[in-house]
Structures are given as C-alpha cells and as structure tokens.
Structure 1
Amino acid sequence: MTIDLSRVYIERCNKETEEILEKESASFLNTSISYFKNHLNEFLYIQSPVFDEIKVDAISMEVDDVFGTYMALFGLKVQKKHTKTIKNFLEQHLHTNSIKNYSALFAGDEGLWEINLPLNFIEGFQEDMTIEQALFLTCDFIQKLVQQIEISE
C-alpha cells in the first residue's frame, strides 16, 4: 500500500482538550516517532483518502501515558461479527512477553471497531523510525488484518 502524502491532512493536538495545536504539512511525517516521548501531551491526527482502502478514516498516533508505548488509534469499519478474527489477529501478531496493551471495542452507535494498537509490539517497529515509517508499518498491519477478516468471511 502506498500513501499519497500530497493528499494527507495532519493536525498536532492536545490530548486533554483535543484542541488543535498546529496543522502540519506532510514534511512533519519525517520527524522521529520519538517526538511523542518528548511531547506526551500531544497526539497526531492523520487523515488520507488512501485510508479508505484499509477501511479506516483516520489514524491518530501518540505515546500511551501509562505503558509508555507508541500507539496508533483508529476506527476500523467492519462488522461486529468479526470479533473473534480481530482479537485472534491482534493476539497472534503483537509480539511481547509483557502486557499487550491493545484494545478493540465495537462501537455499535458508530458501527465500527475502536482499536488502540501498540506499535512497539508490531514486527519491524523501531524507536528510531520516522512518523512516516511508523504510519506505513501501521497501515501494512491494518491491511493484513482486513485481509484476514475477508478470508474469514
């Protein structure tokens, strides 16, 4: 999957208030993912038409205040009946000996899965990668999850 960065919309936001701190250009994605460790009060909101291919409108990235892991948060537009497939995929594809601090909850009123994905536990993640590289890794992970859901139907 390729992400057309010319059509990406990015906001840096305050975690507590969700206030927009700054609208960023695509060049901000070249920033190290460790930016979030130094700005724990912020999250990055990223929107792209390309995300439709993986059944996602937008992806937010931040560092989890409790566990200190890098997180990708997104709504996955698939039906509730895929509970077992989604949870099995996350259990099998997140690699750690510690707590797998992901969450996957179905929001019936919105008709989508609200997923909080710890990037640290995805194969290939490195703390010295850029936000863009972490975004590509996240999209690839989501794409594989969607493919697994389609296979299970």
Structure 2
Amino acid sequence: MELTDVYIERCDKDSEELISNENQTFLTTSIQHLKQNMNEFLYIESPTFENIKTDALSFEVDDVFKTYMVLLGFKVQKKHADGIKRYLTEHLHGENAFYSCSFSGEEGLWELNIPIDFMDGFHENQSIEQVLSITYHFLEQLSKSIAQQ
C-alpha cells in the first residue's frame, strides 16, 4: 500500500472537534497512542483508499470493550449485505469477535465498525502505519470478495 496525499486529524470523540492536524510522520507513532488518549480518534483520508471503496478511515479504541476499531463508509451496494457479513464473520478471529454494519440509504454506503484486534497480524506494539496497512489489506480482500459475487 502506497499512501498518497495523506490527510490526518486527531479529534475529540465526544465533540468531534479537531485536536490537531498531523503530518505523515505521525503514522510512525504507536497505535497505543489511542489507548493512552481514550478521548481521541484518528481520521485519515487518502485517494489511495478508493481502491478499498472508501474515502477515509477512522481509528479509535472502543470505550466499553477497549478494542481498537476502524470505522468507515464502505461504498458498495445494499445487495452485498450477505457477502460483507460472511467475509467479516469468516475473517475476524477470536471468541469474542464482533462487528457492526448497517446500510445508510441516505449516503448509499455501508457504515462498518470493525475491531482491528481480531484481524490477522495485529498486535498492540505496532505503529499506526503498520495497523493502517493491516486494515487496508483486510478491506482490500473484502472488496475483492464482494467483486467476485
């Protein structure tokens, strides 16, 4: 994955107000930054994400389960519900793996909340960039499985 024109915001979870804009070097920060700053989420935009059928990815730690999450708008048609759910069920590993997905008719996309903790290759000692790469690969495979339906 070669990120181009990356735009990064650190935002407050409650108000969604901007804490700061970051440059690409912020991606070398440990993903644990989010557990150390539970009130924050990261919003990352890149034209590269068009390949995985989204404009942006948001990363945060779930307040209840304390799991790392990625939230995104997945731009595929509503008819792909079964394929999305099947892929997520089959490719998220762990006894307590969970996710949420709902179709937004207004926006014409799937709102996905996926726990990164249950993706292959994830561990908490990784940089944001490494976690972004794992997430990108996961969503790339999801996109390919949808295309084959």
Q: Aligned to 1:50, which of 48, 52, 62?
A: 48
Gaps of 5+ in 1: none
Amino acid at match of 1:67: F
Q: Percent identity?
A: 52
CA shift, 1:89, in A, is 0.2
Per the TM alignment, residue 2 of structure 1 is displaced from its structure 2 partner at its CA by: 2.5
> CA offset at residue 20 of structure 1?
0.2
- The TM-score with structure 2 as length reference comes to 0.98
2:34 is matched with 36
Aligned to 2:3: 3
**Of the candidates 94, 99, 109, which is equivalent to residue 102 of structure 1?**
99
Alignment of 1:69-148 (within 5 A): 69-98=67-96, 100-148=97-145
| 1:4-40 residue CA offsets vs partner (Å, 9 max, x unmatched) | 3xx1000000000000000000011000001111100
Per the TM alignment, residue 54 of structure 1 is displaced from its structure 2 partner at its CA by: 1.1
Secondary structure, counterpart of 1:32 in structure 2: coil
Measure the CA separation in 2 of the matches of 1:79 and 1:30: 34
Q: SS of 1:62's equivalent?
A: strand
Question: What is the number of residues matched between the two proteins?
Answer: 149
Spell out, residue by residue over 1:54-75, the C-alpha distance to the aligned partner (whole angstroms, 9 max, x if none): 1100000010001100001000
| Uncovered stretches (5+) of structure 2, i.e. residues with no partner | none
TM-score (norm 1): 0.96
Once residues 2 and 46 of structure 2 are traced to their aligned partners in structure 1, the CA distance between those partners, rounded to angstroms, is 11
C-alpha displacement at 1:118, in angstroms?
0.2
Deviation of residue 131 (structure 1)? Answer: 0.3
Deviation readout 1:109-131 (Å, 9 max, x if unpaired): 10000000100000100100000
RMSD, aligned CA = 0.7
Which letter does structure 2 place at the counterpart of 1:62? Answer: E
User: C-alpha separation between the residues in 2 aligned to 1:151 and 1:135?
Assistant: 24
